[in-house]
Structure 1
């Protein structure tokens, strides 16, 4: 079975924290949803029969106000079609790039108590994911 990733490892999160905190960042998000959301027993959404996609929509609805409050925005969003270069088994449902004014804004978001409640929906929704930090570059016609 292939290893899946939902949350950052301690080493990866430390590497993120060690990068400069005072410059804009882009976060590439690649998402593969569970067929059925996996909520912890007793959670208000457990037993509703939601798909992973529906649970992720709830995550967006509940975390969105916090994301926007810290200055976040979506600069690109797309629906997966096929892998051109890479492992054939690499299948995603959705992808997007979130922009933050700086990593401090990202930290502010993930430390927010309301965000911490909302992120349960993300965890329940995802079978696998990737979250990759980039420094924004110039767009244009060339590579």
Structure 2
């Protein structure tokens, strides 16, 4: 069985926190949606029959203002087509790269009480995900 990841492990999150907090960051997001969103019992969206994709759209709608307020922006977005290198058992629905002015902005976002309510939609939406931090590099025509 393939391991799935929705939230960071304590060790991975500590590694993130140990990196510099005052430099720009890019966060690669890979998303695999549930067929049917899995909300906790009693949540306002439980029982609505939403797809995982619809629940993720709600996450975007409710977290978007906070993301923008901390200086975040989406710099690339794409729809998965096929795995060229990697496990054949893993296909992603969507991917995007979020840019933050610094890691402090990311921390500000995830600590915001409104964001903490919004993230329930993300958890309900996804059956697997990856969130990978990169330091921005130079774009160009060469690989190296």
TM-score class, shorter-chain normalisation, is: over 0.9
Please give the per-residue CA displacement for 1:21-62, whole angstroms capped at 9, x wherever unaligned: 000000000000000000000000000000000000000000
In structure 2, the residue matched to 1:3 is 3
* Match status 1:97 vs 2:116: no
Report the TM-score when normalising by structure 2. Answer: 0.99
In structure 1, the residue matched to 2:52 is 52
Equivalent pairs, count: 143
Moved over 3 A (4+): none
* Match status 1:38 vs 2:33: no
Provide the C-alpha distance between the structure 2 equivalents of 1:127 and 1:87, rounded to a whole number of angstroms. Answer: 17
Q: Flag structure 1 segments of 5+ consecutive residues without an equivalent.
A: none
Provide the C-alpha distance between the structure 2 equivalents of 1:87 and 1:113, rounded to a whole number of angstroms. Answer: 37
* Match status 1:70 vs 2:70: yes
Provide the C-alpha distance between the structure 2 equivalents of 1:87 and 1:39, rounded to a whole number of angstroms. Answer: 29
For the aligned residue pairs, the C-alpha RMSD in angstroms reads 0.4
Provide the C-alpha distance between the structure 1 equivalents of 2:3 and 2:76, rounded to a whole number of angstroms. Answer: 27
Report the TM-score when normalising by structure 1. Answer: 0.99
Provide the C-alpha distance between the structure 2 equivalents of 1:39 and 1:71, rounded to a whole number of angstroms. Answer: 29
Q: Flag structure 2 segments of 5+ consecutive residues without an equivalent.
A: none
Provide the C-alpha distance between the structure 1 equivalents of 2:16 and 2:24, rounded to a whole number of angstroms. Answer: 13
Please give the per-residue CA displacement for 1:39-92, whole angstroms capped at 9, x wherever unaligned: 000000000000000000000000000000000000000000000111111200
Provide the C-alpha distance between the structure 1 equivalents of 2:113 and 2:85, rounded to a whole number of angstroms. Answer: 40
